[in-house]
Structure 1
Amino acid sequence: MRVVIADDSALLREGLARLLGEVGITVSALAADASALTAAVEAHQPDVAVVDIRMPPTFTHEGAAVAVELRERYPGLGVLLLSQAIETQFAAHLLEKHPERFGYLLKDRVIDVATLLGALATIAAGGTVLDPDVVRHLMRTRSRHDPVQSLSEREHDVLSLMAQGRSNVAIAERLVVSTKTVESHIANIFTKLGLQETPDDHRRVLAVLAALRGERSNYRAP
């Protein structure tokens, strides 16, 4: 796997590059701002771009904005957004436009090597990964009229684990239930969210997107 890393913090850039290099992932380039990231993707055509949401010059949402542009230009590019805080409206925008090969982790999570490597592998394979804290935040901020609110507590648990990119087997192991039970919960989730019959992988992404859409609908610009 080939990645580029974009973050204004030299310490984080170099630390991630060293960490990934030690486990056999090729770090093709490091970038300190959005323009350098664009140039790195053009030059190296990586499998995944690891991008800080807040980058120079304003340190608001330049990273998320350039990630959207790069996905438009390079549909096969995976994007892993990093953030110091939960900013789900931008994740919702990216996920709605390009639901495949997308991930969003809080920066505190990247020190967990297994979590970071698992996220990169899932994204490179075409999947979606959301930080558990982001998912918990979404589950707490549901509108009363949001269909996600109709899910049972266990269905919320299953949707949360789906959003983290976990397979049915992994969800079953985490919840200490059978895979058939997980499949039943997922079928109920699809029904309650009004997701029509399509390939299951696609509906899994749509279910996660339903949660993100609900969060974005509650967002009001300052």
Structure 2
Amino acid sequence: METHYAVQLMTEFDVGVGYLLKDRVSDLATFAADVRRVANGDCVIDPELVARLVGKKRQGDPVGTLTDRELKVLALMAQGRSNIALSQELSLSPKTVEAHVRSIFTKLNLAPDPGDHRRVLAVLAFLRGAPRT
């Protein structure tokens, strides 16, 4: 997998971005749902790509300071999941999810800025630090 292609795609477009692996688009219902999410302006990254990236902690990279739970939250964020969806999928309270997201932003030095979308910046930080495969 070439993670740098996903990073390049996500940095060149503000909304409506998707990166799916060709062998995973055979599930037409999932593919159609992903296309609808991209059309609605969401960011969709293939879960297999995210899972591989999450499994590789990197030294000297702030993403490497994230806990396993924070990495899981970040992986789901990379798939375009909202906090409510994270809460349901991880069986956590919405407040706990918010705490994990805040912690991720803090560890990645992503201060609030009205001109930036911190969720996207967190995913980009994650992808930029990923080794080329």
TM-score using structure 2 length:
0.89
CA distance in 1, matches of 2:92, 2:106: 21
CA gap of 1:98–1:142, structure 2 versus 1, over 3 A, is: farther
What one-letter code is carried by the residue in structure 2 that aligns with 1:100?
V
What one-letter code is carried by the residue in structure 2 that aligns with 1:128?
C
CA root-mean-square deviation: 1.8
Contact 1:99 1:128 in 2 (8 A): no
Per the alignment, in what secondary structure is the counterpart of residue 165 of structure 1?
coil
Contact 1:142 1:214 in 2 (8 A): no
CA distance in 2, matches of 1:155, 1:197: 19
Structure with greater proportional strand content: 1
Deviation string, structure 1 residues 104-141 (Cα, Å, up to 9, x no partner): 11123222234212211221121111111111121233
Task: Report which stretch shifted further, 169-178 or 96-105.
Answer: 96-105
CA distance in 1, matches of 2:124, 2:78: 9
Please say which structure displays the higher CA radius of gyration.
1
* Residue in structure 1 matched with residue 79 of structure 2 by the alignment: 164
Percent of aligned positions with the same letter in both sequences?
A: 50
CA distance in 1, matches of 2:39, 2:125: 23
What one-letter code is carried by the residue in structure 1 that aligns with 2:113?
T
Per the alignment, in what secondary structure is the counterpart of residue 111 of structure 1?
coil
Deviation string, structure 1 residues 167-217 (Cα, Å, up to 9, x no partner): 111111110111111111101101100111035x811111110011102xx
Structure 1 segments of 4+ aligned residues over 4 angstroms from their partners: none
Alignment pair present for 1:219 and 2:132: yes
Alignment pair present for 1:149 and 2:64: yes
Q: Whose relative contact order is higher, 1 or 2, with alpha carbons under 8 Å and at least 6 apart? A: 2
Match of 1:124 among 39, 44, 69: 39
CA distance in 2, matches of 1:152, 1:133: 20
Structure 1 unaligned regions, length at least 5: 1-85
Structure 2 unaligned regions, length at least 5: none
CA distance in 2, matches of 1:148, 1:177: 22
